[in-house]
């Protein structure tokens, strides 16, 4: 009995010791957690205190700068004049000056002013008694974009400072991109619009189910300060690679200007919004089954050899072995012509796209997109550009293509089996119709 009592007492003492040890461990963990929590709280308080001190220092600096600032002696420098612009606006200059300097007629210009007025109207509370009107802001931006992008020349023509000119151009281009962009550049929104695009394209070029052409163009820029190697393109200059889609008339349906010049056209397409919409069925589609027991032919874009061959993007045969392949290539090249002509008219209108743009890298995409919006606006308003200038731009583009060949990317410019089937069906259809 005595031995049993000893064993029980020993077991109880062992259990108590274990419990005590566990409690001590829990107490230690709790203390460590509290210390950690206190450290975090102290760090947060220190961070907030530093932010508050910095904010107070900034406010103090601003107040001191305001107190030290001298009263502005004048809002414009003597000798600056906008008489040239006033003569055009009041009708002293001939009406041809509108199209020559702003790439559109007076009526089209006033229509654009009405659309932009809610977004670029001047601040009437400004102390400057020479506030710049909406008409003058738009004229400044158009004059800058139509020329070779000289801020100094534009500023002198309108009697304003260079930094004012830069701010106005940025403001107007931003309004054109964000406010008028969705109105003038848009893909088909429903099946009826898609059918109309397809019917128009087929009536013009005989390519069944095609609704547009796709291609890329490089917009030269000044060498960026950061990551300049990313913007150096195969044409041996720094640029943005702009992908665009147009219909049979040369109206742009979709534009992406976010990729640096070193990125291949096929990679831009692979990561573009339009590729995602076509691949995932987001864009409205209409299908045709020309032959029984054959796959349906979806709506597709026409691209050059740099693009991948997939059911929704067609390109020509690399090597022709049959008559139907020769005929298909001939018709496809003809149907791809609208995008080349559209780029020619675009750069003929807005010469800034042919010169190295010297603006902040963050501003350039909006400026380029604004030129596409203005292109569609001018096309709709039938404010056409001189054909000789357009032909010159197209010849320059072709000469550059021959000099700097855009080699297909082995990863992104692939030929998919489904694309080959679709291309074969289209080639057979063309042969039967010819």
The residue extents of the domains of the chain are: 83-184, 191-433
pLDDT, tens only, 213-222 = 999 999 999 9
Q: CA angle, corner 147, sides to 391 and 121, nearest 5?
A: 125
As to burial, measured by CB atoms within 10 angstroms (0-12 exposed, 13-18 middle, 19+ buried), residue 195 is middle
CB 163 within 8 A of CB 140: no
- Token pair belonging to 135: 């008409």
Region 242-261 average pLDDT: 94
Q: Report how many helices (DSSP H) and strands (DSSP E) the chain contains, helices first.
A: 16, 5
Q: Which of 13-17, 55-59, 157-161, 399-403 has the lowest mean pLDDT?
A: 13-17
CA separation for the pair 420, 411 (Å, rounded) = 17
- What would the DSSP string read from start to end of 11-41? HHHHHHHHHHHHHHHHHHHHHHHHHHHHHHH
**What are 256-272's pLDDT values in tens digits?**
999 999 999 999 999 99
Q: Reply yes or no on whether the pLDDT at 312 is more than 90.
A: yes
User: Between 163 and 139, where is the model more confident?
Assistant: 139
Judge residue 230's burial from the number of C-beta atoms within 10 Å of its C-beta, 0-12 exposed, 13-18 middle, 19 or more buried. Answer: middle
- Helix H or strand E encompassing 256: strand 252-260
| Separation of alpha carbons 140 and 96, rounded Å | 17
Decide if 211 contacts 197 (C-beta within 8 A): yes
- The number of C-alpha atoms within 13 Å of 71 and in the hemisphere containing its C-beta is 2
Q: Are 214 and 339 in contact (CB under 8 A)?
A: yes
Dump pLDDT digits (tens) for 46-105: 888 898 899 999 888 888 887 777 665 555 666 677 888 999 999 888 888 999 999 999
Taking CA atoms, 391 is separated from 106, 244, 335, 397, in Å, by 26, 20, 18, 10
Tell me the mean pLDDT in the region 137-141.
Answer: 95
Residue 304: count other Cβ atoms within 10 Å of its Cβ: 21
Task: Give every CB contact of residue 188 below 8 A, 6+ residues apart in sequence.
Answer: 194, 196, 197, 211, 253, 283, 284
pLDDT of 327-370, one tens digit each? Answer: 999 999 999 999 999 999 999 999 999 999 989 999 999 999 99
Residues 276-297: tens digit of each pLDDT: 999 998 999 998 887 777 788 9
CB atoms closer than 10 angstroms to residue 181: 18
């Amino acid at each position: 009995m005595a031995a049993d009592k000893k064993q029980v007492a020993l077991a109880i003492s062992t259990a108590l010791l274990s419990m005590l040890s566990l409690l001590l461990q829990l107490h230690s963990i709790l203390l460590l957690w509290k210390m950690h929590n206190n450290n975090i709280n102290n760090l947060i308080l220190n961070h907030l205190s530093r932010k508050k001190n910095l904010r107070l220092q900034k406010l103090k600096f601003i107040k001191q700068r305001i107190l030290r600032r001298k009263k502005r002696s004048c809002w414009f420098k003597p000798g600056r004049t906008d008489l040239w612009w006033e003569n055009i606006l009041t009708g002293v200059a001939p009406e041809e000056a509108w199209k020559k300097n702003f790439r559109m007629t007076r009526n089209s210009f006033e229509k654009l002013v009405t659309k932009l007025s809610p977004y670029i109207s001047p601040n009437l509370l400004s102390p400057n008694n020479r506030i710049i009107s909406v008409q003058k802001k738009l004229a400044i931006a158009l004059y800058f974009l139509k020329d070779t992008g000289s801020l100094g020349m534009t500023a002198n023509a309108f009697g304003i400072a260079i930094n004012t000119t830069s701010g106005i151009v940025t403001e107007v281009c931003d309004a054109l991109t964000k406010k008028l962009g969705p109105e003038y550049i848009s893909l088909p929104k429903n099946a009826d619009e898609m059918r109309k695009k397809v019917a128009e394209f087929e009536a013009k070029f005989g390519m069944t189910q095609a609704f547009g052409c796709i291609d890329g163009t490089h917009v030269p820029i000044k060498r960026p300060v950061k990551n300049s190697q990313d913007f150096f393109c195969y044409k041996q200059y720094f640029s943005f690679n702009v992908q665009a889609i147009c219909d049979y008339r040369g109206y742009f349906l979709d534009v992406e200007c976010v990729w640096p010049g070193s990125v291949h056209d096929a990679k831009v397409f692979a990561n573009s919004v339009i590729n995602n919409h076509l691949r995932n069925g987001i864009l409205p589609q209409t299908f045709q089954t020309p032959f029984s027991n054959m796959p349906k032919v979806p709506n597709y874009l026409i691209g050059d050899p740099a693009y991948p061959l997939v059911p929704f993007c067609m390109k020509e045969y690399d090597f022709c072995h049959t008559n139907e392949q020769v005929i298909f290539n001939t018709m496809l090249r003809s149907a791809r012509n609208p995008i080349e002509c559209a780029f020619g008219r675009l750069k003929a209108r807005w010469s800034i796209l042919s010169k190295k743009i010297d603006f902040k890298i963050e501003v350039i995409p909006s400026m380029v997109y604004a030129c596409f919006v203005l292109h569609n606006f001018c096309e709709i308003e039938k404010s056409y550009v001189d054909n000789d200038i357009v032909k010159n731009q197209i010849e320059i583009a072709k000469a550059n293509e021959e000099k700097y060949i855009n080699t297909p990317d082995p990863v992104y410019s692939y030929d998919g089996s489904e694309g080959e089937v679709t291309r074969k069906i289209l080639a057979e259809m063309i042969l039967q119709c010819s």
